[in-house]
Amino acid sequence: MSGHDFTECLHGPGRRTEPPRNQHPLIPQVVCLPADSVDVTAEAMPDDALDSEGGASGTPVYDFRNPSKFSREHSRMLDQIFEAYGKQCATVLTTTLRSVCTHDLKSVQQTTYGAYIASLPQTTTMFLLDLSPLKVTSIIEFSPRSAMLMIHYMLGGQGEDNQPERGLTEIETTLLSSMVDRMLGELKYVMAPVLPLQPRIMATESSPQFAQVSPPSDQVVVVHFDMDINEVITPATLCLPFKELLPHLDRAVANSRTRRNDADSIAIAKAVETRMRLAPLEVAVRMGPTNVRMVEVATMEVGDVIKLRHPVNVPLEVIGSDLVYGYAVPGSDGERAACLIVNPNEEQ
């Protein structure tokens, strides 16, 4: 097809247009269609096809400004630690409030302190913690609704849901601090494989904007929980300093890997030992050597007798793979020849 024929196909017969300047006549032109004739795929795509992270396939978006430094072993260890911590906290809540409670782990994330503070509501219940030997302040945070509900149960209430969402008074802070102290004891217990913590409450705060315990760009580990108090589910978080925690995690992961390798080595050694015990080994019973002259060997005939130098009262050698590992005296077991293992130092 020539360039003119192609132009006619686009613009109809009898209408020929010259190619624009610097355009070769044999190269087809790009035709701009009207806006109302273009089928926009985004308009036809349903709203639920796009996930909350902005992708169409459900894959989370990677934040290059906040790269994750957690390895798979770090994440697995933290999941195990804080899952156990959640179960222990559920026991503390149930026994203290005398009501059925759960404290389930939701996620463990690495983020910045500024992003963590921005994710909290304007009014919340925060306990600022000193987790020695960690030098940076940590945070336990509850929603005001759950904090008031816990105080309500501790004072003998029946669990009314219409609790005020405000800051704590001095008496309420004292009541809630006693329960948080017990939760910190469980945190000390579950974190013992990583580092020995000495947790204590430093202060309380109701406004996240005033809890500037770290620069906004510092990396932190945020643990999210779902706190269920008598079927009233509210979020709870635990914020730990990432930079201070990472060396202890590396050491704990290395120790865990060493213990796992040692256990594998022991298991392999036991398996090899078991197989070696069941492996067949050819053994023989041997008398002591006797010197024979070459002429006697050359003229040997059937019926000749060779005098052995092996004493009658000396046991025979039991050998396997050319190694002597026992001594025996000859005998019989029914119709078969046999030998009895003996101590060579005993008199026969």
Strand partners, 284: 319
Q: Give the chain's mean pLDDT.
A: 79
Percent of the chain with pLDDT over 90: 25
How many separate domains does the chain show?
A: 3
**Is residue 96 domain-shared with residue 244, that is, in the same domain?**
yes
**Is residue 243 domain-shared with residue 100, that is, in the same domain?**
yes
Residue 258 banded pLDDT, cuts 50, 70, 90 = low
Answer whether residue 235 is part of any domain: yes
**Is residue 244 domain-shared with residue 326, that is, in the same domain?**
no
Answer whether residue 169 is part of any domain: yes
**Is residue 140 domain-shared with residue 222, that is, in the same domain?**
yes
What are 90-106's pLDDT values in tens digits?
999 999 998 889 999 99
**Is residue 293 domain-shared with residue 185, that is, in the same domain?**
no
149-167 core/surface letters (b: 16 or more CB in 10 A; e: else): bbbbbbeeeeeeeebeeeb
pLDDT value for 45 = 44
Last residue of a domain, one of 252, 270, 299: 252
pLDDT value for 260 = 65
CA distance 220 to 244: 9
Give the range among 50-54, 62-66, 248-252 with minimum mean pLDDT.
50-54
What are 285-335's pLDDT values in tens digits?
888 788 888 888 888 888 888 888 888 788 888 888 888 888 888 888 888
Answer whether residue 96 is part of any domain: yes
The angle at the Cα of 61, spanning 84 to 215, to the nearest 5 degrees, equals: 65
**Is residue 200 domain-shared with residue 87, that is, in the same domain?**
yes
CATH number, domain at 309? 2.30.330.10
**Is residue 83 domain-shared with residue 225, that is, in the same domain?**
yes
Cβ atoms of 159 and 151 within 8 Å: the answer is: no
**Is residue 81 domain-shared with residue 142, that is, in the same domain?**
yes
pLDDT value for 46 = 45
- Residue 346: pLDDT above 70? no
Answer whether residue 60 is part of any domain: no
CATH number, domain at 222? 3.40.1550.10
What are 106-134's pLDDT values in tens digits?
999 989 999 999 999 999 999 999 998 88
**Is residue 291 domain-shared with residue 247, that is, in the same domain?**
no
**Is residue 11 domain-shared with residue 80, that is, in the same domain?**
no
**Is residue 182 domain-shared with residue 100, that is, in the same domain?**
yes
Answer whether residue 327 is part of any domain: yes
- Residue 38: pLDDT above 90? no
Answer whether residue 336 is part of any domain: yes
CA distance 174 to 156: 16
- DSSP secondary structure code for residue 220 in this structure: E
- Which residue in 21, 17, 10 sits closest to 1, CA to CA? 10
CA distance 159 to 153: 6
pLDDT value for 273 = 81
**Is residue 146 domain-shared with residue 243, that is, in the same domain?**
yes
Domain limits for position 304: 283-342
Answer whether residue 112 is part of any domain: yes
The angle at the Cα of 176, spanning 170 to 178, to the nearest 5 degrees, equals: 105
Residue 229 Ramachandran class (φ > 0 left, ψ -120 to 50 alpha, else beta): beta
Strand order in the sheet with 323-333: 283-286, 316-320, 323-333, 336-342
Answer whether residue 33 is part of any domain: yes
- Which residue in 194, 239, 203 sits closest to 218, CA to CA? 239
Calculated CA dihedral for residues 147, 149, 152, 154, nearest 10 degrees: -70
